[in-house]
Amino acid sequence: MLAALWPLAAGHLLAMLLVILPFALLVALVEWQRQIQIGASLLVIGFGIFRLADRRHPRVLARIRPTQLGLWSFAVAIAHGAGLMLVPIYLGLCREGHEAAGTLINTNLGMAVLVAVVHATAMIAAGGCSAWLVYRYLGVKFVSRSWFNLDTSWAVSLIVVGLISLVLSLRN
């Protein structure tokens, strides 16, 4: 299990960097900032609606060889919108009430990379700890017999964050 955490973290980090770095570069286009903010908000809302409407999970992703775990993590993170939640913050849509967001907005590309690294580290620490606890105390049989799907809550959270960002960008 511990050996699986590194490829999972690497795949998730690469997926987030792929999503957030282009938006970080777009911040340089200050004259289009409002339009970019609205577009990013609509992209997050649209992806949330798509994930809510399209509930299919490809069966090919169910059986992954250990050598392809990093690639699988990258593909799944991209498919679930990793990094999209950070786009509204990085584009300055959350200025009010968030001092840390102001720091993110007024910095450079290095900050976007740091945000992605911190997020991937937190994600893999939480996921790895949860996986270990389930494995240690509930066992593999529990996991094989029970399954819960968080796709709906993820899709709704994308839509909510996108709507909040859209309202804030239209208000400015």
Average pLDDT over residues 15-36: 74
The sign one gets for the Cα dihedral 93, 94, 96, 102 is negative
Structural domain containing residue 36: 2-171
Sequence length of the chain is 172
What's the predicted TM-score (pTM) here? Answer: 0.52
Number of domains within the chain: 1
CA distance 49 to 36: 20
pLDDT in tens, 52-109: 888 776 565 566 777 788 887 887 777 666 767 666 666 665 555 556 655 665 566 7
Nearest C-alpha neighbor of 48 from the set 160, 158, 164, 166: 158
Confidence of residue 125 (pLDDT cuts 50, 70, 90): very high
Q: Rg of the chain over CA atoms, in angstroms? A: 17
Q: Three-state SS string across the chain, please? A: CHHHHHHHHHHHHHHHHHHHHHHHHHCCCHHHHHHHHHHHHHHHHHHHHHHHHCCCCCHHHHCCCHHHHHHHHHHHHHHCCCCCCCHHHHCCCCCCCCHHHHHHHCCCHHHHHHHHHHHHHHHHHHHHHHHHHHHHHHCHHHHHHCCCCCHHHHHHHHHHHHHHHHHHHHHC
Torsion of CA 84, 153, 35, 103, to 10 degrees: -60
pLDDT in tens, 97-107: 556 655 665 56
Question: Which pLDDT belongs to residue 105?
Answer: 57
Question: Which pLDDT belongs to residue 100?
Answer: 60
